[in-house]
Amino acid sequence: MKGRPMKIEDLERIVLVSDPKLSPDARLAAFTVTKPSIREDKYLSSIWLLDTKSLSYEQLTAGPSDHSPEWSPDGRRICFLSRRTLKEGEEGAELWIADVFARGEPRMLLKLDRPIRNAQWSPDGRRILFISRVGRKDEDVKVIEELPFWFNGEGFIYGLRDHVFVADVYSGNYFQLTSGDVNVKFARWSPNGRRVAFVAETDRLRPYIKDVFVVDAEGGEPVKLTRGNMTIIDLDWSPDGRMIVFRGHDLRRGLTSHYKVWVVDVEGGEPRCVFNADLDAVNAMNSDVRGPSSARYIQWVEGHIYFPVSVGGYVHLYRTDAEGEHEPVIQGEIVVEDFSISRELICTTAMRFDRPPEVYIYREGELKLATDFNGWLLREVGLGRPERFTFRASDGVEVEGWVLKPHGFVEGRKYPAILYIHGGPPTTYGEGFMHEFHVLAGEGFALIFMNPRGSSGYSEGFKDIRGRYGDRDYKDIMEGLDYVLEKFPFIDGERVGVTGGSYGGFMVNWIIGHTDRFKAAVTQRSICNWISDYGTTDIGFYFNEDQIAGGFGRPFWDERWFRKYWDMSPIKYVGNVKTPLLIIHSMEDYRCWMDQALQLFTALKVRGIPVRLVLFPKENHDLSRKGKPKHRVERLKQIVGWFKKYLAED
């Protein structure tokens, strides 16, 4: 393999390219370029412009915190979000406007002490819609009367609600369009600008239930178009303004259900599914090199609706018409990320296992690379490609996985290996670029990763392991490892480690309580006790009922379900653990709270098992993907050091 190995510090040499948006005439595309800086310990982002014909590109804004560009209807201006005048750690956001052709200094339209997202110009170009927060946080004593009381990446959220606002593009004056005890998640102008459609949750105890509403753009009482029985992500209007399309599911398999594409008449009626293939209409791919994005993942352009679909180890772009005739548009060994659709072309970011996301242009059936921000690094390092394998599990179902050889692989030598388990569980491995994987390969480890039962990208039945965590998924993983050790003789079966995060961390904890075949383990942002997790996390009070007990309305204090929670908790089996364990956890992880790490560490320490606890302050569940660059570097150093210590040759 030519080129040097990927290093941990190469994190700051990877350019994160994201969020392309085509101008109304499709001649230009605005996109975001983000560079991690280890020295400054932050991410530096700016807006760039691409000429879609010549494929030349240049920087438009200076940054250092500009992202989420949106074009005005006349194609002369963009608005974008930034933190240009905010201090480090200061809460808030800013909305700016830049003239694309005059190239003068952008002007700040408004500055708030709370988040701004989902910005969109009105069709007449005189107003900008955005979503922001209503309510105030308790700065000292916390007086809480509702769930969820906090949320990962946001902190305490009780008493706060997200609503739609509309701002004048000249004065910056704005008004609140929606109100009440709802949380707005997504909003879009109608094609004529007279109405706004939005997705909102209305029940704090069932935040997985979301509905589609339509409201007059000048205000008034919203009209609900759905029936309070679905999970809904986002939406778009039909070009004639008569229908709305949305991605969601009807909870027929609880939170595990595949996302489908639905249309509903604005004047009322039952939603109708127009993409009913046994596939997931989401991008479920794992990657640690994604930049900030406000991309729209459901777009109705002329006669077709465009959306992503997870297909095994890939993510493809599909389209359907309003009658349900669907087809892939961009497919192959690729992960389609953000995209923007026009009549003439598609502008998208896409990645492969050995190439981080770049901007591509799809025109007349050909996908062409348009940017090459990461070319310098890729020509310097030698990145391997994994070998795909499939095996038949003991129940006859086919399971997909990959093996990545260590950098500098020499035939005839034996190598230590790391089995890496993804989170979710409904996410997927495959062609997603993982800086971490290439680092571990560069340190001399083989990588084993697979999509066991519970993963997205396959059938809904494959994805559904509600009430069976630690059963069929565990068997798939262990049977897959057996298959790999037989098929890939260069892997030393006596020097295999295991790691994973979130659900993958749960599975690591489960594995070491049920087998001692691994020489070392690293558990990250994990769960060891489903009972305590129920009441301490942002989603545990409903997620655990559905996923662990097997259905909503099954709390742990009900004797019928208590045993289920406890039997699936790895802490129950801590007395069996012999494997040296590194525990990595963020101190502000409200998805899997820090108590999970503390419980496991204490139990293993009392038992005398080799264990180390590494806590990262001011980080959340997304440490490995969006954490401070210095913390991301230290995390990888801890993982590499642990496995080198225990997987070294005797």
Does residue 621 carry a catalytic annotation?
yes
Query: Whole-prediction pTM value?
Result: 0.98
Residue 112 has pLDDT above 90, yes or no: yes
pLDDT of residue 649: 83
pLDDT > 90: percent of the chain: 98
116-158 pLDDT, tens digit per residue, is 999 999 999 999 999 999 999 999 999 999 999 999 999 999 9
pLDDT value of residue 326: 98
**Alpha carbon distance 311, 314 (integer Å):** 5
The predicted structure's pLDDT at residue 2: 85
455 flagged as catalytic: no
**101-110, 201-210, 493-502, 556-565: the lowest-pLDDT one:** 101-110
Instruction: Please count the other Cβ atoms lying within 10 Å of the Cβ belonging to residue 326.
Output: 21
Among 82, 502, 526, 569, the one annotated catalytic: 502
Q: State the average pLDDT over residues 474-495.
A: 98
Sheet holding 272-275, edge to edge: 231-237, 243-249, 260-265, 272-275
Q: What is the DSSP letter of 351?
A: E
- Judged against a pLDDT cut of 80, whether residue 409 lies above it is answered with yes
- Position 104 scores a pLDDT of 86
| Whether residue 294 has pLDDT greater than 90 | yes
- Compute the C-alpha angle 639/644/645, nearest 5°: 100
Span 557-566, average pLDDT: 97
Mean pLDDT for the stretch of residues 43-57: 98
Instruction: Please state, rounded to an integer, the average pLDDT across all residues of the chain.
Output: 97
Query: Contact 272/418 with Cβ under 8 angstroms?
Result: no
CA neighbor of 597 nearest in space, from 493, 513, 523: 523
Q: Where in the chain is the domain with CATH 3.40.50.1820?
A: 384-529+569-647
As assigned by CATH, the class of the 384-529+569-647 domain is alpha beta
**The residue to which tokens 């983000």 are assigned:** 34
Residue 467 has pLDDT above 80, yes or no: yes
Mean pLDDT of 544-548: 98
pLDDT of 580 reads 98
Residue 200 pLDDT > 90, yes or no? yes
pLDDT value at residue 103: 83
Q: CA-to-CA distance for 113 and 188, rounded, in angstroms?
A: 23
pLDDT surpasses 90 at 338: yes
Residue 650 has pLDDT above 80, yes or no: no
Share of residues in the chain with pLDDT > 70 (%): 100
What pLDDT shows up at residue 285? 98
Say which CATH superfamily domain 112-377 falls into. TolB, C-terminal domain (2.120.10.30)
pLDDT at res. 77: 98
CATH 2.120.10.30 residue spans of the chain: 112-377
Model pLDDT for residues 316-337, shown as the tens digit of each residue: 999 999 999 999 999 999 999 9
Q: For the segment 1-38, what is each residue's pLDDT rounded down to a tens digit?
A: 689 999 999 999 999 999 999 999 999 999 999 999 99
Average pLDDT over residues 615-625: 98
Q: How far is CA 563 from CA 557, 567, 592, in A?
A: 10, 6, 21
